[in-house]
């Protein structure tokens, strides 16, 4: 009997000791959700390496379970809310897929605004933290970044070189400001997420798509498109999209201090610059070559033609300023602040 009581006592002590272990001794698995396939550049070269890094630096106390291609359900436009509501612990998304909710942040999607992923991502992180954090309530931004800037990828073999040739074409847009720019240029915008582009273009629903070179392989645009259009070298890109890698705030707050430090060390301005540079800028040349190797035509606007396109789209900036001001912010001041940060980081 004494032996049995002793064993029982030891068992109770063992259970109590296990319960008393600090939370940091337990493995925390983070559910990470995004809308691109598991073969995509962002999955393989951004999200997975980031997850591997926090696992290593935490001694495997932090791990990710990554769910690509909306495997947890919902639509790309719902991803931000999934992070806020705890459906996922972390998401990577385009916030402006939820139209009208990130009006201050979307200044970085204005036409002819950014030049590179790395520089504009540093500017975007700095801008949001100074002027637009209220748009990210319920989540903790880890990185905020842009892409390498959108180019045109078109079905027509001869391509487009002038504003007149663009008029009337049905072109995919990623966000509402992309759509406004296309309309201002005389095209017909068709707004859709990237995964919908290949079928729409292959079936002739659209004549082309605005997509960064980074996204070309994921949408197989080197195969579907016959021609492509870039801005002149060194010029600001046609348009951009903003991206957010954000964590449920309550999930972050519940982490022990040592694991918060690991997350914090892999978040912020430098992480944002890494995302824009490594994830987007670094693959442009290789993806460009995918198109030229297939014999596709790659055009670039002449400088004088670029001036026409910029002038034709100026109304998009003005409309954005009016809308943001109507919501209670100082649209002109925000635009000036964003441009100043672009001058600082993206030149």
Q: Which two tokens stand for residue 34?
A: 């995004």
According to DSSP, residue 174 is labeled S
Place 164 in a pLDDT band, splitting at 50, 70 and 90.
very high
Question: Per-residue pLDDT for 24 more than 90?
Answer: no
Angle of helix 314-326 relative to helix 331-345, nearest 10 degrees, comes to: 130
Distance CA 89, CA 28 (A): 11
Beta-strand ranges (E) seen in the chain are 28-33, 62-67, 90-93, 139-146, 150-154, 170-173, 188-191, 208-212, 227-230, 242-248, 297-300
Round the average pLDDT of the chain to a whole number and report it: 93
pLDDT at 15: 41
pLDDT at 347: 84
Question: Are the C-beta atoms of residues 166 and 313 closer than 8 Å to each other?
Answer: no
- Please return the burial class of 316, using the count of CB atoms within 10 Å of its CB with bins 0-12, 13-18 and 19+: buried
Nearest CA among 147, 139, 145, 143 for reference residue 124: 145
- How many other C-beta atoms lie within 10 A of the C-beta of residue 285? 9
Report the range of poorest mean pLDDT among 24-38, 77-91, 149-163, 184-198: 24-38
pLDDT at 19: 41
Place 216 in a pLDDT band, splitting at 50, 70 and 90.
very high
Distances in Å between the Cα of 93 and the Cα atoms of 34, 70, 278, 288 are: 6, 11, 17, 24
Distance CA 285, CA 76 (A): 28
What is the three-class DSSP state of 130?
A: helix
Q: What pLDDT digit, counting tens, does each position of 255-305 carry? A: 999 999 999 999 999 999 999 999 999 999 999 999 999 999 999 999 999
Domains and CATH numbers, the chain: 24-146+242-282 (3.40.190.170), 150-239+293-316 (3.40.190.170)
Distances in Å between the Cα of 296 and the Cα atoms of 55, 167, 171, 202, 228 are: 42, 22, 18, 16, 8
- Please return the burial class of 272, using the count of CB atoms within 10 Å of its CB with bins 0-12, 13-18 and 19+: buried
Q: What pLDDT digit, counting tens, does each position of 33-79 carry? A: 999 999 999 999 999 999 999 999 999 999 999 999 999 999 999 99
DSSP string, 223-250: HH-SEEEEPPTTSPPS---EEEEEEEHH
Question: Are the C-beta atoms of residues 120 and 110 closer than 8 Å to each other?
Answer: no
What is the three-class DSSP state of 137?
A: coil
Distance CA 50, CA 267 (A): 10
Place 25 in a pLDDT band, splitting at 50, 70 and 90.
low
Residues listed for the chain: 347
Distance CA 81, CA 91 (A): 9
* Tokens 């980031």 -> residue: 50
């Amino acid at each position: 009997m004494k032996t049995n009581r002793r064993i029982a006592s030891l068992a109770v002590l063992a259970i109590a000791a296990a319960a008393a272990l600090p939370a940091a001794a337990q493995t925390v698995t983070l559910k990470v959700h995004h809308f691109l396939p598991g073969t995509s550049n962002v999955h393989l070269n951004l999200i997975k390496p980031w997850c591997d890094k926090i696992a290593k630096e935490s001694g495997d106390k932090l791990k990710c379970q990554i769910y690509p291609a909306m495997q947890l359900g919902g639509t790309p436009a719902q991803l931000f809310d999934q992070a806020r509501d705890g459906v996922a612990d972390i998401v990577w998304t385009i916030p402006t897929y939820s139209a009208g909710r990130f009006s201050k942040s979307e200044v970085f999607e204005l036409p002819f605004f950014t030049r590179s992923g790395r520089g504009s991502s540093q500017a975007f992180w700095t801008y949001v933290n100074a002027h637009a954090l209220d748009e990210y309530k319920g989540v903790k931004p880890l990185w905020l970044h842009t892409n390498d800037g959108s180019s045109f990828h078109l079905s027509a073999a001869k391509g487009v070189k002038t504003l007149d040739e663009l008029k009337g074409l049905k072109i995919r847009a990623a966000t509402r400001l992309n759509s406004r720019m296309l309309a201002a240029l005389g095209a017909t915008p068709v707004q859709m997420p990237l995964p919908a582009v290949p079928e729409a273009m292959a079936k002739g629903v659209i004549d082309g798509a605005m997509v960064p070179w980074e996204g070309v392989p994921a949408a197989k645009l080197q195969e579907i498109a016959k021609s492509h259009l870039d801005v002149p070298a060194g010029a600001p890109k046609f348009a951009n999209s903003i991206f957010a890698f954000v964590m449920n705030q309550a999930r972050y707050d519940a982490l022990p201090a040592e694991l918060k430090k690991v997350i914090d060390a892999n978040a912020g301005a430098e992480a944002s610059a890494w995302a824009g540079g490594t994830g987007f800028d670094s693959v442009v040349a290789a993806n460009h070559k995918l198109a030229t190797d297939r014999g596709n035509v790659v055009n670039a606007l002449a400088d004088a033609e670029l001036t026409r396109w910029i002038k034709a789209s100026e109304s998009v900036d003005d409309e954005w300023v009016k809308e943001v001001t109507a919501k209670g912010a100082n649209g002109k001041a925000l635009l000036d602040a964003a441009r100043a940060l672009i001058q600082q980081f993206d030149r």
